[in-house]
Chain A
Amino acid sequence: MSKEKKTNVLVIGAGITGIQSSLDLADKGYRVYLVEKSPSIGGSMAKLDKTFPTNDCSMCTLAPKMVETSRHPNIELLTYSEVVGLEGTAGNFKAKIKKKPRYVIEEKCTGCGDCIEKCPTKKQNIPSEFDHGMGTRKAIYIPFEQASPLVATIDTENCLHFKTGKCGICQKVCLAEAIDFEQKEEIIEVDVGAVIVATGFDVLAPTMRTEYGYGKYKNVITAIEYERLMSASGPTRGHIERPSDGKKPEKIAWIQCVGSRSGRLGNPYCSRVCCMYATKEALVTKEHDPDIQPYIFYMDLRAYGKEFEEYYQKADSTGVKYVRARPAEVFETDGGDIMIRYEDTYTGEIKEEKFDLLVLSSAIVPSKSNAELSESLGIELDENGFFKECNVVSDPMESSKPGVFLAGCSQSPKDIPDSVAQGSGAAAMVMDILPKPEIKPVQQIAEKVMQSDEEPRIGVFICMCGKNIAGYMDVDKLSEFALSLPNVSHSEILMFACSQDAQGKIKKAIESKDLNRVVVAACTPRTHEGLFQDTIREIGLNKYLFEMANIRNQCSWVHSTDPEKALEKAKELVKMSVAKARLLEPLSQGQIEVEGSALVIGGGVSGMSTALALAEAGIKVYLVEKKDKLGGMLNNLTTLYPSDVKAQDVVDKLVDEMQKNKNIDVLLNTEIEEIKGYIGNFEVEVKEQDPLYKNFEEPLKVGTVVIATGAELIDPAGIYGYGSSPKIITQYELEEMLKKGSFPKDAKEVLFISCAGAREDKGRTYCCRVGCGTMLRNAKALKKLNPDLNLFVLFRDMRSFGKREEEYYVDVQQNYGVKFLRYEKDQKPEVSVDNGVVTLRVHDMLLGDDLEFKPDLVVLTTPTEGQANDIAMMLKVPTSKNGGFFLEAHAKIRPLDFATDGVYVCGSAHFPKGVADAVAQAIGAASRAAVPIFERIVKGEAIVSDVDQEKCIGCGICVSICPYGAMALDDGKSQSNKALCKGCGTCASACPMFAIKMPHFTDGQIFEQIKAAIGKSGGA
């Protein structure tokens, strides 16, 4: 295989995970084949209404990534396709991909939707897969409005042409001639060096829980179905209507763990996301309509992630009713209401409650295609049907076959940020085994130089969009009008402005009429601007000399009943675009050369994993650790939950690999003194110098920085009497004993208390995320050591959410004789010390009794806290509200990045986490940090702020307002860093002196648009 082919990568599945893997690889120069079995990319995230814990609109955050993916020059999208075979070995695979016929030619279809409108199939009969059957579609369909690629697909099962041979209306109405009934299935073969499996999950249709009535009662639905009801773009446009009669429900119940946490009743594992999505659905419902009363029936509320506990508390105080109970059965009453019969955990009583709608928090289950895919790829499945990783703790992303990697829910259920982290992580695993791609210089024709006094010669191109525009307004009149506007020297009508032949026509007109500005009146710049910009660039025009008028989405489609008004408005929209175009200026992107090295701060398991992943890709790494040895928190631990792997073995292996790798320099006993600079060119000075440091040029120069500073143990003084007796210790002290073998042999009774100093009302409000696991594994260790030990675990919610964790919990419960006692927030255990005797009192909820113990040891499960401050100040990155952790760029889709480019975060510095999640983040952060280094030259945005040094008074307002750290005062004047600026323009509008110019959205351009819009001037 040629070297070039070795840098090809196959990514299977185009949900958020596969998208992240693809973008990470494509940005590094790898050629990605992104295969998606459904007609559009976007996966499950596209179906969600909001995302927890920020209540962000899911589509708002996903859609820009979808557009980026579909327009990336290094990504080849193969939608409606499936991988059917894989031969060869790592570095030399040959993959077979089956491309299913859409019966629509992708290159020709413009997504206008004429065919869908005219398709005679009865809409009510075909359930929409995208809406999980809550909505319907026709036989020819686009799954959702933001679909990418935006092309139609024919489903032959319902299509009249395929059923009876008689129809064919879509073919007749398609002016783009995109319908092809003769299309055949194709098998494509591609050579790739590595494979990433990001096939996501299915949602269980919980029909086997017959007692809950799914499939039997109309008003029992699953949470993903409810999600579609909530979605503003869903079948009910976001109005909550129950399926039986469309009535607005007043009481809605959620039942948790449907099909999960029970091997007998579905699956043994915890589905990990349901507690939070149910909380989100309930909270958003309540916020949207305070008259609706949501109830959540649950056993353990697993709010384990960053800001999750706070979100849960918010839902609780907003009026979501949490009922700790196991619903026994559900039945329908008159009028379609749903009666739930449940056991009250507090009283043991059987209660009944009536609801208008029941939502089942149905488990995430392995994708149906997993079994077949595991055959095709030759990789193993685990006992539940997810893909099997090499090691659940230390190698979560390696499959059983070298060169094939796992990411996201294909490996186990997980939420969006954990999936994204693995998506990046898998991309890093690929970069570590494949050669570095050669970056080919892009051949482009030289840009025409424009004189500043050159008269604008504007060409206006009016798209008919088949009938989507031309059917609702007189485009000839519009074209005539355009030509009458000042500086317009050409106007032309195109059938489909986005088609290939139209690009040729636009170029021809630019040449023959010597146009220097182009306006396309068509659809939305959000999807089509890039295409037209490329076209005009190809003929030598600067791509910023382009403007669009959105006469379809803002005009013909929304004023289709009033052609006169539509034409009137279209004229004004064109006039506004022309007015702006007159003042458009050519722009260019700033460029920064990137140092080929990286700094990793922190030498725990996260820092080491990041350093190794970077170094194995050939990147020089400096790792700085303030302590005298590597290993971080793992040095305190015995085994790594939920396995019995020894922590020391994992540390030793990593340290050994670090020592062998020539690309890594480790500086121990070293703290960072100062970091200056920005992406591509950071300068790092350290204090407490390691002797090794003297060998380096001073200061260290690096292109990117990864923060892996972890978290620290809290001072437990005063918590449950800690400090007043040697019998009250922390889990870490217990582990110390276990490691040294100093656990008292005569101890008869030991009590663990969860959430000691965590999940508080004020202060450390967060869940420590790892405490439950720590309790479980230490309980197991103690009972192994002394099976006769009377061991009680006092807990609030058992949060064993990760892969194999629930199984581990069940094992400890069933096979080790550990007693579990639940306590509630307002009935915490009381610990007192009198004459060296420790007494612990706790209310047993099941027995309804107050229990008293005189244990030999009380072990407190305390949280960790972040240490973000100094480093955060130096790098000008933000920290979280709670706990001193670093605050990532976006809780969902950018968990490893900061708003400031070139700086990344992973592991417990982001939020406390177990080793599996920390490793995934760490390797993911390596991928993120490697992107600019692979690119070698980072291109900034072209639309960047520009400070007029004469006008600037150095007030620093822009510095305080810029979220990207792109503004800095230098010598009393503000300077804009073109590499960091993202072009929002907020600084320009805040500057008291009007000293900041925002190109492409200048005051002058906007004033001209205003004038044209109101109609006083700006044209004919």
Chain B
Amino acid sequence: MADEKFEPKIVAFTCNWCSYAGADLAGTSRIQYAPNMRIIRVMCSGRVEPNFILEAFQQGADGVCVLGCHFGDCHYISGNYEANRRMELLTKLFKHMGLDEGRIMIEWVSASEGERFSQVVNKFTEQVRELGPLPEGYADKIALLRGAIEGERLRIVLGSTKRAFDSGGVEEEKYNNALFDIARDEIDRVKMFKALDKADAPLTVPQFSEMTGIPKMTIWRHVLSMTRKNILEAVGEEHHYMLYQRRAV
């Protein structure tokens, strides 16, 4: 089997008006391209949730891409900007978690770019082929990421980006950095919750740190913040450390 070429499975989300139309045009122009991609049509690339992409990986996709209208061409005016914001964050997080950010991609294809569509498909297919099958432990990391990205806190900050920029006075770079920091925190917290689930018992800060691999100082910060917000509660102590568990809702 080793000499058989690895055929990656790729899912693409395309918007109805530009990139799906570009795919149609590639068809009418009979341009041959790699058969690995499966297109899921949405009305606008703005419909694509980060968790659609993560779901695809969890189902076994080797690469996932989002194709939308070029900036300025969006049939719904600004949906592609939202899509782009989400993908930018997701790309950073893929990098952060060592998930091969080359497995995800956002690209713009117009209704008249049949050839470009085929090039984008071929390029991405080759790129994912190079990366090979999903490595071991990939699914766990994706699950962690999904936990973070489906969390309310991160989604509020991510969703508020446009509002923040429109209101003026917000530096884009600072905002994006803060967004990334929050996302990293959320990933840590998902790891902590997973540790609690695994232990099936309250944990101390050192125990959290040991089980998640997150430095103790960082755990302290999360514990403080989460107890203040009533997410965690102290329920006793062990070896001079408080024991924490999730507060029942």
Report A's interface with B, CB cutoff 8 A.
49, 54-61, 63-64, 113, 145-146, 231-233, 237-238, 524-526, 550, 552-555, 557-562, 565-566, 568-569, 572-573, 576, 889, 899, 943, 955-957, 960-961, 963, 982-986, 988-994, 998, 1001, 1003, 1006-1007, 1009-1011, 1013-1016
- Quote the shortest CB–CB distance from A607 to chain B (angstroms): 27
With A963-B79, A984-B79 already in contact, 9 other A-B pairs whose C-beta atoms are closer than 8 Å: A55-B72, A232-B110, A550-B23, A573-B38, A956-B163, A984-B44, A986-B44, A992-B159, A1014-B61
- Whose C-beta in chain B lies nearest to the C-beta of A889? B77
Report B's interface with A, CB cutoff 8 A.
9, 11, 16-18, 20-21, 23-33, 35, 38-44, 46-49, 52, 55-56, 59-61, 69-70, 72-73, 75-79, 82, 86, 110-116, 118, 150, 152, 155-156, 158-160, 162-163, 166
Residues of A within 8 A of B16 (CB): 526
- Quote the shortest CB–CB distance from B106 to chain A (angstroms): 14
In the complex, are the beta carbons of A1016 and B44 less than 8 A apart? Answer: no
- Quote the shortest CB–CB distance from B23 to chain A (angstroms): 6
Residues of B within 8 A of A1011 (CB): 59
Report how far A562 CA is from B34 CA in the complex, Å: 10
In the complex, are the beta carbons of B110 and A60 less than 8 A apart? Answer: yes
In the complex, are the beta carbons of A56 and B77 less than 8 A apart? Answer: no
Known: A59-B112, A963-B77. Contact between A955 and B38, CB under 8 A?
Answer: no
Known: A955-B159, A986-B46. Contact between A57 and B30, CB under 8 A?
Answer: no
In the complex, are the beta carbons of A238 and B72 less than 8 A apart? Answer: no
- Quote the shortest CB–CB distance from A189 to chain B (angstroms): 36
Q: In the complex, which of the residues B25, B38, B69, B111 contacts A1013, with contact meaning CB atoms closer than 8 Å?
A: B38
In the complex, are the beta carbons of B59 and A1016 less than 8 A apart? Answer: yes
- Whose C-beta in chain B lies nearest to the C-beta of A527? B24
Residues of B within 8 A of A49 (CB): 112
The 8 A-B residue pairs with the shortest CB-CB distance, nearest first, are A553-B27, A986-B46, A985-B47, A992-B155, A984-B76, A957-B159, A1013-B38, A984-B44
Residues of A within 8 A of B20 (CB): 524, 526
- Whose C-beta in chain A lies nearest to the C-beta of B7? A565
In the complex, are the beta carbons of B21 and A576 less than 8 A apart? Answer: no
Report how far A557 CA is from B59 CA in the complex, Å: 28
Report how far A305 CA is from B155 CA in the complex, Å: 41
- Whose C-beta in chain B lies nearest to the C-beta of A46? B112
Report how far A1015 CA is from B60 CA in the complex, Å: 9
In the complex, are the beta carbons of A1001 and B47 less than 8 A apart? Answer: yes
In the complex, are the beta carbons of B46 and A989 less than 8 A apart? Answer: yes
- Whose C-beta in chain B lies nearest to the C-beta of A998? B47
- Whose C-beta in chain A lies nearest to the C-beta of B82? A986
- Whose C-beta in chain B lies nearest to the C-beta of A547? B41
Report how far A990 CA is from B45 CA in the complex, Å: 12
In the complex, are the beta carbons of B35 and A565 less than 8 A apart? Answer: yes
Report how far A59 CA is from B33 CA in the complex, Å: 23
Report how far A963 CA is from B113 CA in the complex, Å: 26
Residues of B within 8 A of A562 (CB): 35
In the complex, are the beta carbons of A957 and B163 less than 8 A apart? Answer: yes
Q: In the complex, which of the residues A56, A560, A565 contacts B73, with contact meaning CB atoms closer than 8 Å?
A: A56
- Whose C-beta in chain A lies nearest to the C-beta of B163? A960
Report how far A832 CA is from B30 CA in the complex, Å: 69
Residues of B within 8 A of A1014 (CB): 9, 11, 38, 56, 59-61
Report how far A411 CA is from B31 CA in the complex, Å: 41
In the complex, are the beta carbons of B46 and A1013 less than 8 A apart? Answer: no
Q: In the complex, which of the residues A58, A233, A984 contacts B114, with contact meaning CB atoms closer than 8 Å?
A: A233
Residues of B within 8 A of A565 (CB): 35
Report how far A550 CA is from B156 CA in the complex, Å: 36
Residues of B within 8 A of A576 (CB): 38, 40
In the complex, are the beta carbons of B42 and A985 less than 8 A apart? Answer: yes
Report how far A960 CA is from B167 CA in the complex, Å: 10
Report how far A1007 CA is from B61 CA in the complex, Å: 13
Report how far A1003 CA is from B156 CA in the complex, Å: 19
Select the residue from A569, A956, A1014 with max chain B CB neighbours within 10 A.
A1014
- Quote the shortest CB–CB distance from B20 to chain A (angstroms): 7
- List 26 A-B pairs, Cβ < 8 Å: A54-B72, A59-B112, A63-B111, A233-B25, A233-B112, A233-B113, A233-B114, A238-B113, A557-B28, A558-B27, A558-B35, A576-B40, A899-B77, A955-B160, A957-B163, A963-B77, A984-B44, A989-B48, A1001-B43, A1006-B52, A1009-B40, A1010-B55, A1013-B11, A1013-B38, A1013-B59, A1014-B38
Q: In the complex, which of the residues B31, B38, B86, B156 contacts A558, with contact meaning CB atoms closer than 8 Å?
A: B31
Report how far A525 CA is from B15 CA in the complex, Å: 12
Report how far A1007 CA is from B43 CA in the complex, Å: 16
- Whose C-beta in chain B lies nearest to the C-beta of A548? B41
In the complex, are the beta carbons of B48 and A561 less than 8 A apart? Answer: no
Residues of B within 8 A of A561 (CB): 32
